Protein backbone atom coordinates (compact mmCIF):
# COMPACT_ATOMS: atom_id res chain seq x y z
CA UNK A 1 0.00 0.00 0.00
CA UNK A 2 1.46 3.37 -0.91
CA UNK A 3 1.32 6.53 1.17
CA UNK A 4 -1.68 7.92 -0.72
CA UNK A 5 -3.67 4.75 -0.15
CA UNK A 6 -2.87 4.56 3.52
CA UNK A 7 -3.88 8.21 4.04
CA UNK A 8 -7.04 7.56 2.05
CA UNK A 9 -7.80 4.54 4.20
CA UNK A 10 -7.57 6.59 7.37
CA UNK A 11 -10.03 9.10 5.96
CA UNK A 12 -12.28 6.34 4.67
CA UNK A 13 -12.35 4.62 8.08
CA UNK A 14 -13.50 7.86 9.70
CA UNK A 15 -16.28 8.55 7.23
CA UNK A 16 -17.31 5.19 5.82
CA UNK A 17 -20.61 5.33 7.68
CA UNK A 18 -21.54 8.40 5.65
CA UNK A 19 -21.52 6.66 2.30
CA UNK A 20 -18.18 7.95 1.07
CA UNK A 21 -16.45 6.14 -1.76
CA UNK A 22 -12.96 4.91 -1.01
CA UNK A 23 -11.88 5.08 -4.65
CA UNK A 24 -13.03 8.66 -4.91
CA UNK A 25 -10.94 9.59 -1.87
CA UNK A 26 -7.86 7.88 -3.31
CA UNK A 27 -8.24 9.65 -6.66
CA UNK A 28 -8.79 13.11 -5.20
CA UNK A 29 -5.96 12.67 -2.76
CA UNK A 30 -3.59 11.44 -5.45
CA UNK A 31 -4.46 14.43 -7.61
CA UNK A 32 -3.83 16.89 -4.78
CA UNK A 33 -0.60 15.30 -3.62
CA UNK A 34 1.00 14.34 -6.89
CA UNK A 35 -0.45 16.60 -9.55
CA UNK A 36 -0.80 19.77 -7.50
CA UNK A 37 1.95 18.99 -4.99
CA UNK A 38 -0.20 20.11 -2.07
CA UNK A 39 1.40 19.36 1.31
CA UNK A 40 0.08 16.21 2.93
CA UNK A 41 -1.78 17.69 5.91
CA UNK A 42 -3.38 20.32 3.71
CA UNK A 43 -4.49 17.71 1.19
CA UNK A 44 -6.03 15.61 3.94
CA UNK A 45 -7.83 18.63 5.35
CA UNK A 46 -9.17 19.50 1.90
CA UNK A 47 -10.58 16.01 1.46
CA UNK A 48 -12.11 16.01 4.92
CA UNK A 49 -13.78 19.36 4.26
CA UNK A 50 -15.04 18.05 0.95
CA UNK A 51 -16.61 15.02 2.67
CA UNK A 52 -18.16 17.17 5.40
CA UNK A 53 -19.69 19.41 2.74
CA UNK A 54 -20.77 16.77 0.24
CA UNK A 55 -21.84 13.96 2.53
CA UNK A 56 -23.08 15.93 5.50
CA UNK A 57 -20.57 14.25 7.80
CA UNK A 58 -19.87 15.86 11.17
CA UNK A 59 -16.85 18.13 11.37
CA UNK A 60 -15.30 16.02 14.10
CA UNK A 61 -15.42 12.28 14.11
CA UNK A 62 -14.54 10.16 17.02
CA UNK A 63 -11.55 8.12 16.05
CA UNK A 64 -12.04 4.68 17.36
CA UNK A 65 -10.20 1.53 16.58
CA UNK A 66 -12.23 -1.47 17.67
CA UNK A 67 -10.11 -4.53 18.28
CA UNK A 68 -11.59 -7.93 17.46
CA UNK A 69 -11.30 -10.38 20.32
CA UNK A 70 -9.32 -12.88 18.26
CA UNK A 71 -6.71 -10.16 17.69
CA UNK A 72 -6.01 -9.97 21.41
CA UNK A 73 -2.97 -12.15 21.81
CA UNK A 74 -0.72 -10.58 24.42
CA UNK A 75 -0.91 -8.79 27.75
CA UNK A 76 -0.21 -5.13 28.56
CA UNK A 77 -2.07 -3.79 25.52
CA UNK A 78 -4.81 -1.22 25.77
CA UNK A 79 -7.75 -1.99 23.54
CA UNK A 80 -11.31 -1.03 22.78
CA UNK A 81 -13.70 -3.88 22.03
CA UNK A 82 -17.32 -4.10 21.03
CA UNK A 83 -18.74 -7.18 22.68
CA UNK A 84 -21.70 -8.90 24.22
CA UNK A 85 -21.69 -10.03 27.84
CA UNK A 86 -22.11 -13.79 27.52
CA UNK A 87 -22.02 -14.64 31.17
CA UNK A 88 -21.33 -13.11 34.54
CA UNK A 89 -19.66 -15.21 37.19
CA UNK A 90 -19.61 -14.86 40.89
CA UNK A 91 -16.65 -12.79 41.93
CA UNK A 92 -14.73 -14.27 44.80
CA UNK A 93 -12.87 -11.11 45.70
CA UNK A 94 -14.25 -7.83 47.08
CA UNK A 95 -11.80 -5.91 44.89
CA UNK A 96 -13.55 -7.23 41.78
CA UNK A 97 -17.01 -5.83 41.10
CA UNK A 98 -17.84 -8.02 38.11
CA UNK A 99 -16.21 -10.89 36.32
CA UNK A 100 -17.36 -12.88 33.34
CA UNK A 101 -17.08 -13.71 29.70
CA UNK A 102 -17.63 -11.39 26.75
CA UNK A 103 -17.64 -12.28 23.10
CA UNK A 104 -17.82 -10.95 19.58
CA UNK A 105 -18.06 -12.71 16.22
CA UNK A 106 -14.41 -13.73 16.42
CA UNK A 107 -14.10 -15.18 19.91
CA UNK A 108 -14.47 -14.91 23.64
CA UNK A 109 -12.41 -13.38 26.41
CA UNK A 110 -12.73 -13.10 30.15
CA UNK A 111 -13.20 -9.66 31.59
CA UNK A 112 -13.22 -8.15 35.00
CA UNK A 113 -14.36 -4.84 36.36
CA UNK A 114 -12.31 -3.68 39.31
CA UNK A 115 -14.37 -2.31 42.19
CA UNK A 116 -12.16 0.79 42.24
CA UNK A 117 -13.18 1.53 38.65
CA UNK A 118 -16.65 2.44 40.00
CA UNK A 119 -18.56 1.47 36.85
CA UNK A 120 -22.26 0.90 36.33
CA UNK A 121 -22.69 -2.89 36.32
CA UNK A 122 -23.11 -4.58 32.95
CA UNK A 123 -25.88 -7.09 32.24
CA UNK A 124 -25.74 -10.53 30.74
CA UNK A 125 -26.96 -10.59 27.14
CA UNK A 126 -26.39 -6.88 26.53
CA UNK A 127 -23.78 -5.41 24.21
CA UNK A 128 -21.27 -2.73 25.06
CA UNK A 129 -18.23 -0.89 23.82
CA UNK A 130 -15.47 -1.41 26.36
CA UNK A 131 -13.06 1.48 25.81
CA UNK A 132 -9.49 1.61 27.06
CA UNK A 133 -9.42 -1.75 28.73
CA UNK A 134 -6.08 -3.33 29.43
CA UNK A 135 -5.16 -6.92 28.71
CA UNK A 136 -3.43 -8.94 31.40
CA UNK A 137 -2.32 -12.51 31.68
CA UNK A 138 -3.54 -14.47 34.66
CA UNK A 139 -2.11 -17.96 34.82
CA UNK A 140 -1.79 -18.14 31.06
CA UNK A 141 -5.29 -16.83 30.43
CA UNK A 142 -5.76 -13.40 28.89
CA UNK A 143 -8.30 -11.10 30.49
CA UNK A 144 -9.64 -7.64 29.85
CA UNK A 145 -9.46 -5.32 32.83
CA UNK A 146 -11.92 -2.49 33.22
CA UNK A 147 -10.18 0.15 35.30
CA UNK A 148 -10.92 3.69 36.40
CA UNK A 149 -9.86 5.14 33.05
CA UNK A 150 -11.88 2.64 31.03
CA UNK A 151 -15.30 3.47 29.69
CA UNK A 152 -18.27 1.18 29.21
CA UNK A 153 -21.00 2.28 26.82
CA UNK A 154 -24.10 0.21 26.28
CA UNK A 155 -25.04 -0.06 22.60
CA UNK A 156 -28.37 -0.81 20.98
CA UNK A 157 -26.99 -3.07 18.29
CA UNK A 158 -26.64 -6.62 19.58
CA UNK A 159 -23.16 -7.92 18.89
CA UNK A 160 -23.18 -11.29 17.13
CA UNK A 161 -21.11 -13.87 18.93
CA UNK A 162 -19.31 -16.97 17.84
CA UNK A 163 -21.28 -20.11 18.77
CA UNK A 164 -19.84 -21.66 21.95
CA UNK A 165 -19.45 -25.04 20.19
CA UNK A 166 -16.59 -23.48 18.27
CA UNK A 167 -14.79 -22.81 21.50
CA UNK A 168 -12.06 -25.33 21.67
CA UNK A 169 -9.12 -23.66 23.29
CA UNK A 170 -7.88 -25.23 26.47
CA UNK A 171 -7.43 -23.14 29.55
CA UNK A 172 -5.45 -23.80 32.66
CA UNK A 173 -6.79 -22.93 36.06
CA UNK A 174 -5.10 -23.33 39.42
CA UNK A 175 -7.46 -23.03 42.32
CA UNK A 176 -8.91 -24.52 45.44
CA UNK A 177 -11.74 -27.00 45.16
CA UNK A 178 -14.07 -25.22 47.55
CA UNK A 179 -17.20 -27.27 46.99
CA UNK A 180 -18.25 -30.64 45.64
CA UNK A 181 -21.85 -30.83 44.61
CA UNK A 182 -24.25 -33.50 45.76
CA UNK A 183 -24.65 -35.03 42.29
CA UNK A 184 -21.02 -36.11 42.32
CA UNK A 185 -19.33 -39.38 43.14
CA UNK A 186 -20.94 -42.60 42.01
CA UNK A 187 -23.75 -41.37 39.81
CA UNK A 188 -26.12 -42.99 37.34
CA UNK A 189 -26.59 -41.99 33.74
CA UNK A 190 -29.36 -42.75 31.28
CA UNK A 191 -28.31 -45.61 29.01
CA UNK A 192 -30.47 -44.56 26.05
CA UNK A 193 -28.10 -44.12 23.16
CA UNK A 194 -26.81 -40.57 22.83
CA UNK A 195 -28.51 -39.42 26.03
CA UNK A 196 -26.07 -39.90 28.89
CA UNK A 197 -27.99 -37.51 31.14
CA UNK A 198 -27.57 -37.87 34.88
CA UNK A 199 -30.43 -39.76 36.48
CA UNK A 200 -32.07 -37.96 39.37
CA UNK A 201 -34.51 -39.70 41.70
CA UNK A 202 -34.41 -42.73 39.43
CA UNK A 203 -35.46 -40.79 36.33
CA UNK A 204 -33.79 -39.37 33.25
CA UNK A 205 -35.10 -35.83 32.72
CA UNK A 206 -35.67 -36.75 29.05
CA UNK A 207 -36.61 -40.44 29.07
CA UNK A 208 -38.14 -40.97 32.49
CA UNK A 209 -37.49 -44.39 34.01
CA UNK A 210 -34.72 -46.04 31.99
CA UNK A 211 -31.92 -48.49 32.43
CA UNK A 212 -29.13 -46.80 34.29
CA UNK A 213 -25.38 -47.14 33.97
CA UNK A 214 -22.92 -46.16 36.65
CA UNK A 215 -20.41 -43.39 36.27
CA UNK A 216 -17.97 -41.58 38.46
CA UNK A 217 -17.49 -37.84 38.33
CA UNK A 218 -17.04 -34.70 40.32
CA UNK A 219 -19.02 -31.57 39.78
CA UNK A 220 -17.51 -28.92 41.96
CA UNK A 221 -16.48 -25.35 42.41
CA UNK A 222 -12.93 -24.23 41.80
CA UNK A 223 -11.85 -20.86 43.17
CA UNK A 224 -8.71 -19.28 41.72
CA UNK A 225 -8.86 -16.27 44.02
CA UNK A 226 -10.55 -14.11 41.42
CA UNK A 227 -13.58 -16.07 40.38
CA UNK A 228 -15.18 -19.43 40.74
CA UNK A 229 -15.54 -22.07 38.06
CA UNK A 230 -18.02 -24.89 37.90
CA UNK A 231 -15.63 -27.68 37.19
CA UNK A 232 -16.46 -31.14 35.92
CA UNK A 233 -13.95 -33.92 36.45
CA UNK A 234 -14.62 -37.26 34.79
CA UNK A 235 -13.75 -40.78 35.96
CA UNK A 236 -10.24 -40.61 34.57
CA UNK A 237 -9.57 -37.36 36.41
CA UNK A 238 -11.06 -38.64 39.64
CA UNK A 239 -8.89 -41.75 39.43
CA UNK A 240 -5.71 -39.81 38.74
CA UNK A 241 -6.34 -37.68 41.83
CA UNK A 242 -7.66 -40.25 44.28
CA UNK A 243 -6.86 -43.69 42.92
CA UNK A 244 -10.58 -44.42 42.97
CA UNK A 245 -11.95 -45.58 39.64
CA UNK A 246 -15.45 -46.74 38.77
CA UNK A 247 -14.76 -50.33 39.87
CA UNK A 248 -13.40 -49.25 43.23
CA UNK A 249 -16.27 -46.82 43.70
CA UNK A 250 -18.79 -49.61 43.10
CA UNK A 251 -16.96 -51.77 45.61
CA UNK A 252 -17.08 -49.00 48.23
CA UNK A 253 -20.82 -48.66 47.60
CA UNK A 254 -21.35 -52.42 47.90
CA UNK A 255 -19.32 -52.80 51.06
CA UNK A 256 -20.98 -49.88 52.82
CA UNK A 257 -24.39 -50.51 51.23
CA UNK A 258 -24.33 -46.79 50.51
CA UNK A 259 -23.65 -45.15 47.15
CA UNK A 260 -23.18 -41.87 48.99
CA UNK A 261 -20.13 -43.31 50.74
CA UNK A 262 -18.13 -42.71 47.56
CA UNK A 263 -18.94 -39.01 47.63
CA UNK A 264 -18.03 -38.82 51.31
CA UNK A 265 -14.70 -40.45 50.54
CA UNK A 266 -13.98 -38.11 47.61
CA UNK A 267 -14.86 -35.06 49.68
CA UNK A 268 -12.43 -36.18 52.37
CA UNK A 269 -9.64 -36.48 49.84
CA UNK A 270 -10.30 -33.44 47.68
CA UNK A 271 -12.20 -30.65 49.41
CA UNK A 272 -10.06 -27.60 49.98
CA UNK A 273 -7.19 -29.00 47.94
CA UNK A 274 -5.41 -26.96 45.29
CA UNK A 275 -5.82 -28.38 41.83
CA UNK A 276 -4.32 -27.57 38.48
CA UNK A 277 -6.96 -28.15 35.84
CA UNK A 278 -6.43 -28.03 32.10
CA UNK A 279 -9.63 -28.21 30.17
CA UNK A 280 -12.27 -26.67 27.97
CA UNK A 281 -14.01 -23.59 29.26
CA UNK A 282 -17.56 -23.40 28.00
CA UNK A 283 -19.57 -20.37 29.05
CA UNK A 284 -20.90 -22.42 31.94
CA UNK A 285 -18.41 -25.13 32.84
CA UNK A 286 -14.75 -25.86 33.01
CA UNK A 287 -14.54 -29.41 31.71
CA UNK A 288 -11.32 -30.97 32.93
CA UNK A 289 -9.20 -32.89 30.46
CA UNK A 290 -6.25 -33.14 32.77
CA UNK A 291 -6.21 -32.57 36.50
CA UNK A 292 -3.57 -32.89 39.19
CA UNK A 293 -2.81 -31.66 42.67
CA UNK A 294 -1.08 -28.34 42.46
CA UNK A 295 2.30 -28.07 44.06
CA UNK A 296 4.44 -25.03 43.52
CA UNK A 297 7.69 -26.00 41.85
CA UNK A 298 9.81 -26.38 44.96
CA UNK A 299 12.82 -27.66 43.06
CA UNK A 300 13.08 -24.43 41.10
CA UNK A 301 12.86 -22.43 44.32
CA UNK A 302 15.65 -24.49 45.87
CA UNK A 303 17.83 -23.95 42.79
CA UNK A 304 17.29 -20.20 43.13
CA UNK A 305 18.29 -20.22 46.80
CA UNK A 306 21.34 -22.36 46.02
CA UNK A 307 22.44 -19.96 43.29
CA UNK A 308 22.07 -17.06 45.70
CA UNK A 309 24.12 -18.84 48.37
CA UNK A 310 26.87 -19.62 45.89
CA UNK A 311 27.11 -15.96 44.94
CA UNK A 312 27.59 -15.09 48.59
Region binding Zn ion by CB under 5 A among candidate stretches 71-79, 100-108, 111-119, 200-208: 200-208
198 forms part of the interface with Zn ion (CB under 5 A)? no
207 forms part of the interface with Zn ion (CB under 5 A)? yes
Region binding Zn ion by CB under 5 A among candidate stretches 28-36, 206-214, 254-262, 298-306: 206-214
DSSP the chain: --HHHHHHHHHHHHHGGGT--HHHHHHHHHIIIIIS---HHHHHHHHHHHHHHHH---SS-----PPPGGG--SSS-EEEEEEEEEEEE-B-STTEEEEEEEEETTEEEEEEEEGGG-PPPP-TT-EEEEEEEEEEEETTEEEEEE-TT-EEEEESSPPP---GGG---EEEEEEEEEEE-TT-EEEEEE-STTT-PBPBTTBBTTTBS--EEEEEEEEEEEE-SSBEEEEEE-HHHHHHHHS--HHHHHHHHHHHT-THHHHHHHHHHHTT-EEEEEEEE-SSEEEEEEEEE----HHHHHHHHHHHHHH-
For the CB of residue 235, give the shortest distance to Zn ion in the complex, in Å.
Answer: 19
Region binding Zn ion by CB under 5 A among candidate stretches 155-163, 194-202, 213-221, 262-270: 194-202
190 forms part of the interface with Zn ion (CB under 5 A)? yes
In the list 206, 258, 301, 303, the residue contacting Zn ion (rule: CB under 5 A) is 206
195 forms part of the interface with Zn ion (CB under 5 A)? yes
189 forms part of the interface with Zn ion (CB under 5 A)? no
In the list 101, 159, 177, 204, the residue contacting Zn ion (rule: CB under 5 A) is 204
For the CB of residue 212, give the shortest distance to Zn ion in the complex, in Å.
Answer: 10
200 forms part of the interface with Zn ion (CB under 5 A)? no
248 forms part of the interface with Zn ion (CB under 5 A)? no
For the CB of residue 253, give the shortest distance to Zn ion in the complex, in Å.
Answer: 22
* Contacts to Zn ion by CB under 5 A: 190, 192, 195, 197, 204, 206-207
Amino acid sequence: MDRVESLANQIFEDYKDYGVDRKEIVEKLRKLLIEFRVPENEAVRTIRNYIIREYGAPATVRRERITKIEEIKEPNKWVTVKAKVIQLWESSSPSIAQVGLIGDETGYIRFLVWTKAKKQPVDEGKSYIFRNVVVDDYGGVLRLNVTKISEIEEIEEGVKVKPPEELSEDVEVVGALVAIQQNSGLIQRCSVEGCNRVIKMGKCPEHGKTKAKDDLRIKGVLDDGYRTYEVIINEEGVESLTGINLEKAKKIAEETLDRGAVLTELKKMLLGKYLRVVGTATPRYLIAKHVEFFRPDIRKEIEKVKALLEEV
